[in-house]
Amino acid sequence: MADSLQGGSVPPGQQAGWRSWLLLSPLLVWLGLFVLLPTLLLVLTSFSRRDDMGRVIYSFTLDNYLRCFDATWLSIFGSSILYALVATVICVLVGYPAAYTIGRASPKNRRILLTLVMVPFWTSFLIRTYAWISILSQEGLANSLLLSAHMIPTPIGMMYTPFAIVLGLVYNYLPFMILPIYTSVEKLDNSLIEAAYDLGAGPLRAFSSVIIPLTRPGIAAGALLVFVPAIAMYAITTLMGGGSNPTIGEVIQNQFTRARNQPFGAALGVLLMLLFLVTFLLLGRKKSSPHAA
Amino acid sequence: MKTIRHLILALLPWALVACGSKPASTTGNSDVPGSQEEKKLNLYCWSEYIPQSVIDDFSKETGIKVSVENYSSNEEMVTKLLAGGGKYDLIQPSEYTVEALIRENQLLPINPAALSNLANISSEFRNMPYDAGNKFSTPYMAGFVGICVNTDKVKTPVKGFTDVFTPNHKGRIVVLDDAREITSWAFATEKLGINDVTPENLEKVKPILKKWLPLVKVYDSDSPKTSLKNGDVDLGVIWSGEAALLYRDDKKFAFVLPSEGSHLFVDNLAIPKMAAHPQNAHLFINYILRPEVSRKISEAFPYYNPNSAARALLTNEEIANPASYPPAQDINRMQTFRDLGKQAAAIDELITQIKAGGK
């Protein structure tokens, strides 16, 4: 369905005139200066050496990449992907019902609910993360509430654990999941759901065979928006993970600062970028798979 | 904290745009006749080290607008300085980093004529081996790295590093996120000189570090006191000033100088070669050297104050804080870090690798 729409909207063989290029030029300049150029610099650095003080020496070497495939770094890549994956799945599970409810609400309520989703964005994510630290710490809000309610005998160590990392990721990225799904839900054609019921489907069947496939683009977009930044996130993971469960974002940041090894950090960064590319291609393919089936 | 710093960094250009650049004023604040500097100072300093009130007072008195950026390790600062990422006028390197920066010809000589308050620095800090004669640096604050123990939670005696890093303290330890520091503790345990960093010695301490680091719960150089205060960890190896703050607020936090030996660190104010406002930097250093100003810094960050005139203004309670002013005979025994040259990179590598694979 989507394919046929796209095919019809662009008249074939139309040339972009100079006016369109002019309109595009701010974006192109922006992309060139702030995406293309830095990426080239990153790739260049990743093939370079460094001196004792950490200065980059531009002489070609493959060592940085060879070092990336050491078990140490691969396992960190693995755990970062795992954290991001778990966070994405939880975001879907929590975000989908929320997005569905918002999308099906009356226009007035919809506006209120959407605002409620966005309100946390008005505060810096750092402040929100620090708030979590004071909630989760050993002598924090959560533990003292549970203790005074006699639900736990001794405080639970929640801070500086993988649990805290995933919680921080889910909390900060949930709106990125809700908003795209909401957009898909809002566009849902009611008559298709009614048709499913008319054809004898129960609510579950209608949900799994009609609603989910129709909102899949939203889920895929949300998953991309959560998964990709979550892999590379380092601020939340450092603050809430305490640095003893290092993520790839933290390792890269460390290479550029404390470890004085910019070329190695750059090599890890390039690999991370390739990982994003693969994710993007995979999720992009998923989007069109129901039509193929 | 470093993350906040990044946020501030991101916002800084906007703040500058909003304020607009003021034309250089003509009030005579310079010691070099004929040249005028615009009233700005770009300060690149450790996090949690210079109280904001001190910076504000300096700005009020001199009209010099101070932009502050923070770092949490010497290595981070050097990387950024050498990458030319910012035009800093004043940095705050520790002793071994001063030595490295002098060797790399990255520092501007201090003009002693502009520092009328230099005499306030006590004599033992005036001629340290890393910068004989204080040609390039002025001591800001000194301190130690020691063990801080929450005595409510830890009942066994903790005297040295080996008592800290035991299996029954697993997941209860905070340490500085600083490769040079961590390695030096293992060196002390093996009775190796903290500056005798050779590939063989690093190989020797590797098994110790491999045993120690998986026990650690939190790595934090910015504010290691936070996790201790919140009860998330029960003991740690942290900056003496941080331990002094914990002790001041709650006597259950004991400070122990490790029996294996500790080292004295001296953080300095120094002016990078490329500084755009060296005169303002001198003004700031001289301001910091005032007894009443330095005393204020001690109040906020109770490290070992090398400014003897300021120390005379401290209360008895402040002097009695064991983390700020340990017994003199202990201090005299301490070594200081020297620049390691090539080996510095090897240390970074070793710790990063063990940390990453420690789990």
Tokens of A269: 């960064």
Asked if B4 is an interface residue toward chain A (Cβ–Cβ < 8 A), one would say: yes
Give me the number of domains chain B comprises: 2
B177 contacts in A (CB within 8 Å)?
243, 258
The mean pLDDT of A139-163, rounded to a whole number, is 91
Predicted confidence band of residue A259 (pLDDT cuts 50, 70, 90)? confident
Confidence class of residue B3 from pLDDT cuts 50, 70 and 90? very low
Tell me, yes or no, whether B158 and B241 share the same domain.
Answer: yes
Is B165 domain-assigned? yes
Over residues A88-110, the mean pLDDT reads 95
Query: By C-alpha distance, which of A53, A261, A235, A257 is closest to B73?
Result: A257
Overall fold of domain A70-292: MetI-like fold (1.10.3720)
- The domains of chain A are located at 70-292
Please check whether residues B316 and B346 belong to one and the same domain: no
B344 shares a domain with B223: yes
Contact A76/B356, CB-based, under 8 Å? yes
Predicted TM-score of the model (pTM): 0.83
Instruction: Determine the pLDDT at residue A293.
Output: 36
Provide the pLDDT for residue A228: 92
pLDDT given for residue B359 in this prediction: 41
Question: Do B305 and B349 share a domain, yes or no?
Answer: no
Q: Is B1 near chain A, with CB under 8 Å?
A: yes
The β-bridge relationship of strands B90-91 and B65-71 is unpaired
Q: Does residue B222 sit within a domain?
A: yes
Residues B303 and B329 in one domain: no
Mean per-residue pLDDT, A112-137: 90
Domain assignment present for residue B28? The answer is no
Q: pLDDT digits over B34-65, tens only? A: 457 899 999 999 998 999 999 999 999 999 99
- pLDDT(A291) > 70: no
Q: How many contiguous H segments (helices) and E segments (strands) does chain B have?
A: 15, 9
Location of structure tokens 């922006």 = A30
Cβ-Cβ contacts under 8 Å for B4 (sequence gap 6 or more): A126
- Indicate whether B238 belongs to any domain: yes
Task: Give the 3-state secondary structure of residue B157.
Answer: coil
Mean pLDDT of B168-173: 95
Q: Which domain holds residue B75?
A: 2-20+35-142+265-320
Q: Return the pLDDT at A229.
A: 92
What confidence tier does A2 reach under pLDDT thresholds 50, 70, 90? very low
Q: Which residues of A fall within a CB distance of 8 Å from B6? A: 235
Residue B7, pLDDT above cutoff 70: no
Residues B353 and B316 in one domain: no
ipTM above 0.95, yes or no: no
Q: Do A72 and B357 touch (CB under 8 A)?
A: yes
Pairing of strands B40-46, B90-91: parallel
Question: For residues A243 and A147, which has the higher predicted lDDT (pLDDT)?
Answer: A147
CA B337, B341, B343: angle at the middle one, nearest 5? Answer: 85
Distances in whole angstroms, Cα of residue B24 to Cα of each of A234, B17, B40, B287: 40, 16, 9, 21
Residues B271, B128 within the same domain: yes
- Do residues B174 and B238 both lie within one domain? yes
Task: Specify whether B97 is located in the same domain as B195.
Answer: no
Q: What pLDDT, on the 0 to 100 scale, is given for residue B72?
A: 87
pLDDT tens per residue, range B215-251: 999 999 989 999 999 999 999 999 999 999 999 999 9
Residue B30 lies in a domain: no
Do residue A258 and residue B219 have CB atoms under 8 angstroms apart? no
Residue B149 shares a structural domain with residue B137: no
**Where residue B19 falls among pLDDT bands split at 50, 70, 90?**
very low
Pick A274 or A245 by higher pLDDT: A274
Q: In this model, does residue A287 exceed pLDDT 80?
A: no
Residues forming beta bridges with residue B173, ordered by sequence position? B216, B235
From the centroid of its chain, how far is CA B67?
A: 19
> Which of B232, B250, B348 is most worth mutating to test chain A (most A CB atoms within 10 A of its CB)?
B232
Q: Which CATH number fits the domain that encloses residue B89?
A: 3.40.190.10
Among A50-59, B151-160, B231-240, B305-314, the least confident range: A50-59
Q: What is the pLDDT of residue A51?
A: 86
Return the pLDDT at B333. 86
Question: Does B29 reside within a domain?
Answer: no
Which of these, A228, A190, A191, A217, lies nearest to A286 by C-alpha position?
Answer: A217
pLDDT band at B22 (very low <50, low <70, confident <90, very high): very low
How close does chain B come to A150, measured CA to CA in Å? 19
